[in-house]
């Protein structure tokens, strides 16, 4: 799972997913989140831990929590297969281990191949954020940020650091936000509004956000009359945040718009990807106070 050399070019609207299995279903996780895949090692049980936490392991001197994916997916009486694996993942400034039945292969796909789950089967507690069809196979992409927030709410976006900024009035500034997670859209709406930025336009993927920005150009005049800044996640169906940023920054009229990437994938190793596509700044989730201060710098 060495990541160097994987998708070196940014903004191609492609990703690579690691396919894994739990209870005969196939799931996917972005390669960028995966540090390594290892054989299971002995787990130390933690009394009174969250029911989705099997315990902790020590990996090269680092103590890591192990998440029981059978329980996360509601399979409470299941048993792992003989091919079981540990996926060591890194995102949201967390390093965590996911216990799965097997890891099978890696697929390179376009974000346009990812279909949004239907509202018919997508409940508010569902962790599926996308469906990929490869031949006769369906791979479900999971919302690992939500899985971790369910276990530890403090790992998510909180309005408390924003309240410390004090009362502010920023409603004359209009911000476009591209974020595919309904939970995170709600949290961003609450926190940005608390920070005074109440004039927000939300989109669930980069394509819809970009189409909206282009539609504003049809009204005529400078784009900055209508929108002052764009905040985008990276992982989104149809068009990811890197490709959205690249499209904005190579557009003759949209390129003046400041773009801030707000993602769980902002790390020292991956920051160069946002720089390559021209992002004005990048902030790692869940550092919402840092995001707000960057927005202040760019549009006030």
Residue pLDDT, tens place only, 198-246: 899 999 999 999 999 999 999 888 999 999 999 999 999 899 999 999 9
Map 88-115 to HEC letters: EEEECCEEEEEEECEEEEEEEEEHHHEE
pLDDT reading at 119 higher than 70: no
- In this structure, what token pair is assigned to residue 28? 């996917």
pTM: 0.86
pLDDT on residue 122: 54
CA–CA gap between residue 148 and residue 197 (Å, rounded): 27
| Burial degree of 154 (CB within 10 A; 0-12, 13-18, 19+) | exposed
pLDDT on residue 162: 83
Residue pLDDT, tens place only, 19-62: 999 999 999 999 999 999 999 999 999 999 999 999 999 999 99
Q: What is the mean pLDDT of residues 172-185?
A: 91
Q: Are 293 and 260 in contact (CB under 8 A)?
A: no
Rg of the chain on CA atoms, in Å: 20
Least confident of 67-76, 116-125, 135-144, 170-179: 116-125
Q: Are 152 and 132 in contact (CB under 8 A)?
A: no
Structure confidence at residue 1 as a pLDDT band (50, 70, 90): very low
In what helix (H) or strand (E) does residue 149 lie, and over which residues does it extend?
A: helix 144-151
pLDDT on residue 242: 95
């Amino acid at each position: 799972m060495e990541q160097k050399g994987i998708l070196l070019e940014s903004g191609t609207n492609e990703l690579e997913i690691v396919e894994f299995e739990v209870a005969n279903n196939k799931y996917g996780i972005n390669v960028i989140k995966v540090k390594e895949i290892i054989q299971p090692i002995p787990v130390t049980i933690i009394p009174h831990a969250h029911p989705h936490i099997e315990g902790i392991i020590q990996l090269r001197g680092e103590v890591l929590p192990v998440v029981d994916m059978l329980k996360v997916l509601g399979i409470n009486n299941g048993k792992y297969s003989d091919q079981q694996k540990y996926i060591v993942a890194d995102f949201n400034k967390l390093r965590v281990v996911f216990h799965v039945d097997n890891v099978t292969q890696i697929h390179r796909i376009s974000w346009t191949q990812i279909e949004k789950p239907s509202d018919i089967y997508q409940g508010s507690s569902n962790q599926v954020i996308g469906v990929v069809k490869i031949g006769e196979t369906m791979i479900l992409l999971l919302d690992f940020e939500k899985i971790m927030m369910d276990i530890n709410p403090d790992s998510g976006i909180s309005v408390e650091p924003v309240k410390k900024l004090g009362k502010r009035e920023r409603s004359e500034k209009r911000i476009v936000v591209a974020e595919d997670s309904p939970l995170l859209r709600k949290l961003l709406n609450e926190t940005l509004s608390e920070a005074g930025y109440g004039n927000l336009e939300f989109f669930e993927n980069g394509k819809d956000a970009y189409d909206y920005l282009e539609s504003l150009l049809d009204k005529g005049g400078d784009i900055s009359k209508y929108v002052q800044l764009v905040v985008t996640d990276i992982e989104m169906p149809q068009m990811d945040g890197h490709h959205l940023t690249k499209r904005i920054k190579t557009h003759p009229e949209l390129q003046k718009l400041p773009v801030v990437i707000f993602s769980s994938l902002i790390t020292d190793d991956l920051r160069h990807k946002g720089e390559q596509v021209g992002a004005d700044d990048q902030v790692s989730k869940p550092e919402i106070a840092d995001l707000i201060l960057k927005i202040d710098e760019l549009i006030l």
